[in-house]
Amino acid sequence: MAELIDGKQLAKTVNAQTKRAVTELKTRGVNPKLIVILVGEDKASQIYVRNKQRKAVQLGIISETTRLPEDVSQAELLKLIDQYNHDDTVNGVMVQSPLPRQIDEAAVTRAILPTKDVDGFNPENVGQLYSNSNLNFPVSCTPKGIMSMLKAYQVTLAGANAVIVGRSNIVGRPMAALLLNASATVTVVHSQTKDMRAYTRNADILIVATGIAHLIKGEDIKPGATVIDVGMNRDENGKLTGDVDFDSAEPVAGKITPVPGGVGPMTIATLMQQTVELTKWSE
């Protein structure tokens, strides 16, 4: 049976470190502050934003959630971001995804000041990541959190065959860059890939982020592989399931993340960690 990669437990460790760092900053009169912008009424987003707000407060980070109506204009959203860009008390700004149709997501990511871009989505920060820059810059929190998980569970990256299923801006693409920067041999497969399973079966590290429940089964996994499930799908009973069929995958994998309790908690822990990093880098 595979070793369970316990994201919930690791998130507690990361959060405790963040809390200590916040306390230390506060003794010097520095108060980390995170702004979360939520547009519209998406049910899941409301939960995630509430969880972020709650976690920030627990760790001593000042956090404000700004809610905008579903039909807000692009201009109004950009104006709000600009206000936060110019507010010296604010260290991190993020806009919860997904956004309504009238909003150009790429324009939003360009608008957030790179030094306050706590999601790491601004093209300047994406460029730093892809050029393996030695400067300090923020990175998308889900893949950055996955890197912390791989490190904590001593997964060898250099020379490993890493296969990423999915090419989103939030997960697949930054994940590929992080693993390449760590000297893994990286393959990204996606909906247009011919014979995707020929790649997954050869992966030492398999990262699945597609939004398709149970896409990957035990037979698609190389024995002993490390399997990271980023999927968060609700079944007909409202039960959360991943993109990996855990029951058939667990006997084959060497290490595996559960859903829930895997990648999700580490995404929020990494957001808090990165808020503190941005605060320190701006000092």
Binding residues (CB under 6 A) for ligand LMY7XDAE: these are 47-48, 94-97, 119, 141-142, 170, 232, 240, 259-261, 264-265, 267-268
Q: What is the DSSP letter of 218?
A: G
For the bound state, the minimum distance from the C-beta of residue 83 to Mg ion, rounded and expressed in Å, comes to: 15
Compute CA 79 distance to the chain's CA centroid, rounded to the nearest angstrom: 26
Site membership for Mg ion, residue 46 (CB under 5 A): no
**Phi, psi angle pair for 222, to nearest 5°:** -75, 135
Residue showing the smallest CB distance to ligand LMY7XDAE in the complex: 264
Does the protein bind Mg ion through residue 31 (CB under 5 A)?
A: yes
Under rule CB under 5 A, how many of the chain's residues touch Mg ion? 3
Given the residues 52, 55, 144, 255, the one annotated as active site: 52
- Contacted by 31, from ligand LMY7XDAE, Mg ion, none: CB < 5 to 8 Å by type: Mg ion
Helix, strand and coil percent figures for the chain, each rounded to 5: 45, 15, 40
Catalytic (active site) residue 96: yes
Select from ligand LMY7XDAE, Mg ion, none the partner in contact with residue 34, using the beta carbon and a kind-dependent cut-off of 5 to 8 Å: none
CB 201 within 8 A of CB 165: no
Closer residue to ligand LMY7XDAE, CB minimum distance, 121 or 199: 121
Let me know if 119 is a catalytic residue: yes
Pick the closer one to Mg ion by CB: 35 or 80: 35
Let me know if 247 is a catalytic residue.
Answer: no
On the question of a cis peptide bond just before residue 32, with omega within 30 degrees of 0, the verdict is no
Residue nearest to Mg ion (CB): 31
- For 35-70, b/e burial (b = at least 16 CB within 10 A) is bbbbbbebeebeebbeebbebbeebbbbbebbebee
Among residues 273, 210, 230, the alpha carbon closest in space to that of 52 is found at 273
Strand pairing partners for 216? 244
Three-state SS string across 165-200, please? ECCCCCCHHHHHHHHHHCCCEEEEECCCCCCHHHHH
226 versus 279: smaller Cβ distance to Mg ion: 279
6, 117, 119, 204: the active-site residue: 119
Report the residue number, 32 or 172, with the smaller CB distance to Mg ion: 32
DSSP state of 2: P
* Residue 36 contacts which entry, Mg ion, ligand LMY7XDAE, none (Cβ below 5-8 A, type-dependent): none
Give the catalytic positions in this structure.
52, 96, 119
Binding residue numbers for NADP(+): 166-168
